[in-house]
Each structure stands twice: as C-alpha cells, then as structure tokens.
Amino acid sequence: MKRYLKQLGVLFLLFACIGLVACGEDEGPGGDSNGNSYSHNPGRNCIECHGNLKYAGTVYTDISGGSTIAGEIIVITETDGSVRRIESDGSGNFYTSNGNPGGGYTVTVEGNTVGMVASATNGGCSAGGCHDGSSTARVYVN
Ligand code: HEC
C-alpha cells in the first residue's frame, strides 16, 4: 500500500512538471500595458513570443522611428464596434491580452486614424511586412 502511494506521488510530480512546461510556452504579460511599467524588445513583434497577446506594438515619436514614447494612448476599434484604449508603457510598448483582431480594425493615435488592410488578421503591429519601418511606417505620433 505504501509503495503504491509513493508511485502515485511520483506520477503526480511528473504531471505537475509537464503542466508547468506546457504553460510556460505562452507565458508573459497579461491584461493591458500602462505607463507605470516597463518592458523590453521595442520594435519587435511581441506576439511572436507572447502568444497570449492580442494586440502589441511600439509607438514612436515620428514616422522615421525616432524614439519611443511612454504614456501614449492607442485606441483600437474592432469591426464589431468594441473600443480598446491601451496606454504605452515606460518603454513605448503597448499590449493587451484582450480583444479579437480581425480584418479591418482601425487604430487611432493622437487623433490620427489608420484603417488596417482587410488581411490584417492579427494584432502584431511590428510583425515583418507590417509596421516594421521598412515596408510600412512604424506606429508613430506626429
Ligand atoms: C524573442 C522573444 C520575445 C519577444 C520578441 C518579446 N518578448 Fe517579452 N518576454 C520574453 C520572455 C522570455 C520573457 C520572460 C518570461 C515571461 O515572463 O514570459 C518576457 C517578459 C515580458 C514581460 C514581463 C512579463 C511578466 O509577467 O512579468 C513583458 C511586460 C513583456 N515581455 C512584454 C513584451 C513586449 C511588449 C514585447 C514587444 C515589444 C515583447 N515582450 C517581445 C520574450 C520575448
């Protein structure tokens, strides 16, 4: 009986470890960014590593991608009319784990609204071919 319990314990530990590893994959920031915290990798596609984020990017001072800006409000209007207001953090990055990015959402930064092309089916703003500063301008304030 004792031996049986010990085996059960080992089995439990094994599953606990597998569970932790599995959860680790999508770990990262949750909720919305705000001006009181800092993050990393400005200009990179956050969603590439943080699969739990729905929209994420970096906001810059100008179209050529000068420096990043903290405390900027990014307003996203989804196709069903839901509006999300996300504040860029101390590193100029903004992110949220909420929302439903689909073709045609719009983004407003300081009164400037940009409509996404219909093929924008995710919210990784800095993804290659999106607002990466080469094919399309960075997200910026002017
Ligand atoms: C190359 C992979 C990679 C990229 C790209 C990346 N991150 Fe991370 N990030 C990580 C790892 C690894 C950690 C530390 C472990 C964790 O908390 O997930 C982390 C941690 C964080 C944390 C702290 C999470 C916490 O709960 O304390 C924040 C906030 C964050 N990242 C935001 C961002 C933002 C915003 C971007 C895009 C501008 C981004 N990351 C891009 C890999 C990445």
| Cα 60 to middle of ligand 1, angstroms | 19
Minimum mean pLDDT range among 2-6, 49-53, 86-90: 2-6
Q: How many CB atoms lie within 10 A of CB 24?
A: 9
Atom of ligand 1 nearest to the CA of 94: 35
- Confirm if 58 and 139 have CB atoms less than 8 A apart: yes
Judged on CB neighbours under 10 Å (0-12, 13-18, 19+), 97 is middle
CB-ligand 1 contact for 29 (6 Å cutoff): yes
Name residue 43's amino acid.
Answer: G
Predicted confidence (pLDDT) per residue in 70-85, tens digit: 999 999 999 999 999 9
CB 101 within 8 A of CB 79: no
Instruction: Check pocket membership of 127 for ligand 1, CB cut-off 6 A.
Output: no
77 HSE (CA, 13 A, CB side):
10
Give me ligand 1 centre to Cα 28, in Å.
6
What pLDDT is stored for residue 9 in this prediction?
Answer: 53
pLDDT confidence tier of residue 8, bands split at 50, 70 and 90: low
Instruction: Please tell me if the CB atom of residue 39 comes closer than 6 angstroms to any atom of ligand 1.
Output: yes
Tokens 């689909």 correspond to what residue? 102
User: For residues 99 and 83, what is the distance between their CA atoms, to the nearest angstrom?
Assistant: 9
Task: Decide: 120 in ligand 1 pocket, CB within 6 A.
Answer: no
Per the CB < 8 A criterion, the answer to whether 71 and 141 are in contact is no
Over residues 85-103, the pLDDT tens digits come to 999 999 999 999 999 998 7
**Distance set, CA 33 to CA 68, 113, 139 (Å):** 15, 20, 16
Give the Å distance between the CA of 46 and the centre of ligand 1.
7
Atom nearest to 24 CA in ligand 1: 18
* Digit-coded pLDDT (tens) for 103-136: 789 999 998 898 888 778 889 999 998 999 998 9
User: How far is the centre of ligand 1, averaged over its atoms, from the C-alpha of 61 (Å)?
Assistant: 22
Q: Which pLDDT score, from 0 to 100, does residue 2 have?
A: 60
Tokens of 105: 């959402």
| pLDDT for position 17 | 39
pLDDT at 24 over 60: no
Q: What is the band of 26 on the pLDDT scale with cuts at 50, 70, 90?
A: low
- Token pair, residue 103, equals 């073709």
